[in-house]
Amino acid sequence: METENTTKYESMVKKALQKENMLLFLENKTLEYESRIALAMRTSYGWKEFTYKGLGYMSRKLASYFINDLQVAKGDKVAILSESMPEYGSCVFANVIAGMTTIPLDIKLTIYELRSILKDCEPKIIMASRAHKHDAYKLKEEIPSVEHIIIMDEHVNEEGYQTLYSIPNRSDCKWRHRSKKSTALIIYTSGTTGSPKGVEISFENIFSQLQGFQPLADTFFKDRSKGMNVLSILPMNHLFEMTVGFATFLSFGLSVYYTSSLKPKDILGIMKEKQVDFMIVVPAFLKLLKAGVEAELKNMPKTIQTMFKFMLFIAKRIPSFRVRRWLFQSIHKKFGGRFHACITGGAPLDCSVGEFFETIGIKIYQGYGLTETSPVVSVNYDKRNVMKSVGHPLLGFEAKTDAETGELMLRGKSIMKGYHNQPELTAEVIDKDGWLHTGDVASIDKDGHIYITGRIKNMIVLNGGKKVFPEEVESVLENSEEFAEVCVLGQKREGGEKDGTEEIVAIIVPKEKHLSLSDDELEKMVRAEVKTLSMQLAPYKRPVNIVVRREGLPKTTTRKVKRLEVKKMLAGV
């Protein structure tokens, strides 16, 4: 009977995917997994858990309030200003049911930046968590389009404002279907300032991503019929989290757990308590996790350290991941015992970090994407021995490189509708034949697997015309055990024969253990290390200038270094 029902539901979901009907898709998922945990988070009151049925009811309840009480119209916009939490999901689905467009906001932006975004997209409603309600109040006073604010948390009594838990307890509304070409989300890129750039993602884009991930499900989630737990650590305003960590994971019937803390101790605590199976992460998180394992190992007797190195040597020659996990079972117990794989994206993966986790029995699937591609383009799930590859494009994507510049170009149903209110800017990146110019330099092998080698806009042009991609230099310097952060930039020369050309500058943040050194000692150590590592590079690719910083470099919410800010900072030195 269970097999019969499963087949029935899979047929319904397939039908919804084929029709690209989001309302039918949501209803099918609620019926298929109704009693299973969908979204959960630990709060000061204990674990808050939404089942699929509960998530569906909360979404319909909010949608009913939008339609019946607030009289929203199709296409009206709702901005969400909140950290990741179970209620976030109900707000997104309610917007779909009510026929509205969702604008997830980055909670790390300033009021000035948020104001600029809201003036551009003109939302009618702001959904805000308790932690960010005061910013929402300020924005309502300054943005004429904002008519209502709804607080998302439980146990909040906010005079003059409704909360998700105080709105009328009914779900009687007719669901509003919108065409697949309609805008479902507007995602504003991180670090937005005076001139916001909102990426419009349609329902067709989202369904294309869901369809693209279907063939990968058996690789990632073989036991999903029994239920699997995933841990979410990326912000919901990030499209990678929204499309994969939220929509795709729920489409597979997984249970998604959120964490309010990014401290390794707290994350490991949840992984152990909830026996997390899978995660999506950024490379910086994996690097942090590896450093934690190595730091703990250094406090152990020399005999154990030697044994660990020997086990790593042996494990690399054992193809079975089950045997590798057995060899390092003490580490796996700290991760909860079931954590077996993760997708990493948002920045290039340090191959040595990926190889470390693969060696101890955790599969690392490096992915690649852009907000403009909804966002995932490819995931390396089949070429297990080629860590540098970001994989073969998902179904529905065409990929090629420009013969002259090597720029990667993409075409398919996942390509964004365009930049909100900016047709000229859209035309600059999507040509008349529908090819998106990514700005990334890549190579594609005979099997169609993609290798990202740099960014065109980051390219450094040296005297004599030679071109250097900073990512290549960074990948070498990041192998240092003495450096915490590395950023390589081009700095223009002024005056003389080389006027207007660039030189390679490396900005280095040493590890904390070196910060007690004097400035002179620190600079001497860093320069010596850079010189040694640079021998792996062609002479013209070696840094000419080295800048040592004691403070960390400015980063986005996904831990990417903000090169523009570093460049401005460098100019002021």
Measured distance CA(269)–CA(545) in Å, rounded? 43
Phi/psi of residue 145, nearest 5 degrees: -70, -25
Measured distance CA(428)–CA(197) in Å, rounded? 13
- Span 205-209, mean pLDDT? 94
Is a pLDDT exceeding 70 seen at residue 411?
yes
| Average pLDDT of the chain to the nearest whole number | 90
Confidence of residue 24 (pLDDT cuts 50, 70, 90): confident
Return the pLDDT at 556.
Answer: 79
Return the pLDDT at 384.
Answer: 73
Residues 250, 256 contacting (CB under 8 angstroms): yes
- Span 191-203, mean pLDDT? 73
Pairing of strands 392-393, 376-379: antiparallel
- Domains of the chain and any CATH numbers: 2-251 (3.40.50.12780), 282-440+447-455 (3.40.50.12780), 457-571 (3.30.300.30)
- Span 113-122, mean pLDDT? 93
Grouping H, G, I as helix, E, B as strand and the rest as coil, residue 98 is coil
Residue-wise pLDDT tens digits, 501-514 = 789 999 999 999 99
Phi/psi of residue 479, nearest 5 degrees: -75, -10
Return the pLDDT at 464.
Answer: 61
Which residues, in sequence order, are bridge partners of residue 37?
A: 51
Is a pLDDT exceeding 60 seen at residue 190?
no
The secondary structure of the chain in percent helix, strand, coil, rounded to multiples of 5, reads 40, 25, 35
Return the pLDDT at 21.
Answer: 74
Residues 162, 150 contacting (CB under 8 angstroms): yes
Tell me how far apart the 2 most distant CA atoms of the chain are, in Å: 82
- Span 297-305, mean pLDDT? 94
Say what percent of the chain tops pLDDT 70.
93
Residue-wise pLDDT tens digits, 457-494 = 887 878 766 778 888 899 899 989 999 999 999 888 76
Residue-wise pLDDT tens digits, 425-434 = 999 999 999 9
Is a pLDDT exceeding 50 seen at residue 194?
no
Q: Which of 254-263, 286-295, 489-498 has the lowest mean pLDDT?
A: 489-498
Return the pLDDT at 3.
Answer: 45
Q: Which residues, including other chains, have CB under 8 Å from residue 525's CB and lie 6 or more apart?
A: 482, 510, 514, 517
Is a pLDDT exceeding 90 seen at residue 72?
yes
User: What secondary structure does DSSP assign to 520-551, as a single string?
Assistant: HHHHHHHHHHHHHHGGGS-GGGS-SEEEE-SS
Measured distance CA(85)–CA(251) in Å, rounded? 18
Confidence of residue 193 (pLDDT cuts 50, 70, 90): very low
Measured distance CA(553)–CA(284) in Å, rounded? 13
Q: Which residues, including other chains, have CB under 8 Å from residue 562's CB and lie 6 or more apart?
A: 191, 553, 554, 555, 556
Return the pLDDT at 498.
Answer: 57
Confidence of residue 401 (pLDDT cuts 50, 70, 90): very high
Is a pLDDT exceeding 90 seen at residue 343?
yes
Measured distance CA(441)–CA(432) in Å, rounded? 21
Is a pLDDT exceeding 80 seen at residue 364?
yes
Return the pLDDT at 383.
Answer: 80
Tell me the pTM: 0.83
- Span 173-197, mean pLDDT? 80
- Span 265-283, mean pLDDT? 94
For tokens 């079931």, the residue is 338
Say what percent of the chain tops pLDDT 90.
70
Return the pLDDT at 22.
Answer: 75
Phi/psi of residue 341, nearest 5 degrees: -165, 165
How many Cβ atoms from other residues are within 10 Å of residue 61's Cβ? 20
Measured distance CA(442)–CA(440) in Å, rounded? 6
Q: Which of 23-32, 208-217, 266-275, 543-552 has the lowest mean pLDDT?
A: 23-32
Q: Which of 23-37, 86-100, 267-281, 353-367 has the lowest mean pLDDT?
A: 23-37
For tokens 């960010």, the residue is 132
Q: Cis peptide before 543, with omega less than 30 degrees from 0?
A: no
Confidence of residue 123 (pLDDT cuts 50, 70, 90): very high
Confidence of residue 202 (pLDDT cuts 50, 70, 90): very high
Hey, what are 490's tokens? 């081009």
Q: What is the dihedral of CA 454, 459, 465, 468, to 10 degrees?
A: -50
Residues 233, 269 contacting (CB under 8 angstroms): no
Rg (CA), the chain: 25
